[in-house]
Amino acid sequence: MQKKLIAVAIAAISAAPAFAQSNVTIYGRADYGYLSRSGDDGATLNRDRKNEFLSGIGAGSRIGFRGTEDLGNGLKAIFEYEFGTDIASAGAGQAATWSNRHSWLGVTGNFGTVVGGKLDGIRYGIFNKYDAFGGGYSGNFTQMTAQVDRASNAVAYISPKFMGGFDLTLAYATHIGEANPLGLGSNEGSGASVGAPRVAGDTGNDGDAGLNSIRLAYGNGPIAVDLDWERVSFKSNGAGTAAVVDDVTVWTVAGSYDFGMVKVAALYDNLKADGRGGVGTIHDVDSWFVSASMPFGNFVAKATYGQTDNDEINNSKSKKIGIGGQYNLSKRTNVYANYGKISNDTAATNMISPAANCFTGNSAVVGCTSAYGVKGFDMGIAHSF
């Protein structure tokens, strides 16, 4: 199951007839499999083979609760809580606890939808929407890039469809949280976290990392297109990332066409980080990929190839190819097998991760496995409910 854009998730809530009959629906995913990784390349050295059984290889295992209340006159109150779970046994000293993936509350009507809370990242959702691996498995390309996978302290407006298939999303967050990656991980830079913690005393918003997002999308029949602009602005408190970086700005454009026998997609993304105090551009990262999926009855073959390169760092280019597929045992259960390989230039350190938000080794995410090696193979089973 792919991670979904805010607009997609809310559209599912407002459109599903079942919600008019009940207050709360429980949903989730259980994903368990085997992952093997190895190899060294570029600046990534001395990685012996690592074999392990893991939860959430294709997409994070989770459980969620969503609901709606009819307020009359076409207006509905809506909410969703989603928690990540690890169905594998916890290791020594680790607790098998839930973690908050996203949670929001809002209203929807003829004017559109307004929600607030911890929201799925718009750009992150675009990457996963157009990558055939959906931000999971060994083959996904999203893990090669810096992402705000979820934005804390956020509000968003999602418009109704207009002009035959367009919709608009506007989002703002006052402080997206230290747990989200800055966008300067692995070959892009240091892998620091966003901003710096808020400081005590009369310091206002010092240390905050505010996020602004504007997304315009089009979908009609076999065609889908997304254009997104986002900026993270750091309010310096003289410490951490906020003391060095002023703004991080990203542009993303992506599109796909479904021919029936095969669906093809492509994405281009530019991330630029500007230094504080007239330093100028610190990072200027171009990323792109092409992707395809092809169904054969119950089997779906997948392939993605892409590159990422920081123009401010010599020999920082990384390439990744992913191939694989899944066999659908039913509408809710599938088995999968996938392979990914990364080729790094001498200054690049990208490594394989089946979870797109684990590229800096964010072990705080339940079910997350840190990036390791440059070749990876996985196989497993997933069930959605």
pLDDT over threshold 70, residue 368: no
Report yes or no on 83 lying in a domain. no
- Is 27 inside a domain boundary? no
Domain that includes residue 133, residue range: 32-60+120-155+166-384
Q: Look at residues 193, 189, 192, 188 and name the one whose alpha carbon lies nearest to residue 176.
A: 193
Residue 97 has a pLDDT of 64
Report if residue 226 sits inside a domain: yes
Of the pLDDT bands very low, low, confident and very high (cuts 50, 70, 90), residue 93 is very low
pLDDT at 77 over 60: yes
Using pLDDT thresholds of 50, 70 and 90, give the confidence band for residue 127.
very high
In a domain, residue 46? The reply is yes
Lowest mean pLDDT among 12-26, 34-48, 155-169, 274-288: 12-26
Lowest mean pLDDT among 1-15, 210-224, 255-269, 315-329: 1-15
What rounded mean pLDDT belongs to the chain? 85
| The pLDDT value given to residue 182 | 56
Exposure pattern of 339-376 as b/e (b: 16+ CB <10 Å)? bbbbebbeebbbbbbbbbbbbbbbeebbbbbebbbbbb
Strand segments, DSSP code E, in the chain are: 24-38, 50-55, 62-72, 75-84, 99-109, 112-120, 150-158, 166-173, 209-220, 223-234, 245-258, 263-275, 280-296, 299-310, 318-328, 333-344, 375-384
pLDDT (tens digit per residue) in 166-191: 999 999 999 887 555 555 443 333 33
**In a domain? residue 106:** no
Whole-number CA gyration radius for the chain? 20
In angstroms, the CA 122 to CA 10 distance is: 13
The pair of three-digit structure tokens given for residue 144, joined into one six-digit string: 């090669």
Q: Give the residue carrying structure tokens 């979820």.
A: 150
**Residue 271, domain CATH:** 2.40.160.10
**Token pair of 143, please?**
């893990």
113 in a domain, yes or no?
Answer: no
Q: Is residue 100 part of a domain?
A: no
Q: Is the pLDDT of residue 5 over 70?
A: no
Looking at the DSSP bridge assignments, the partners of residue 303 are 292, 323
* Cβ-based neighbours of 316, under 8 Å, separated by 6 or more: 187, 188, 309, 310, 345, 347, 348
Of residues 93, 84, 97, the one with CA closest to residue 56: 84
* Kind plus residue range of the DSSP H or E element containing 130: helix 122-130
Q: How confident is the model at residue 279 (pLDDT cuts 50, 70, 90)?
A: confident
Q: Which of the four pLDDT bands, split at 50, 70 and 90, describes residue 90?
A: low
In a domain, 4, yes or no: no
Report the number of distinct structural domains present in the chain: 1
| Per-residue pLDDT at 208 exceeds 90 | no
pTM over 0.85: yes
Exposure b/e, 280-302, CB count within 10 A at least 16 = b? eebbbbebbbbbbbbeeeeebeb
Residue 385, pLDDT above cutoff 70: yes
**pLDDT mean over 47-75:** 93
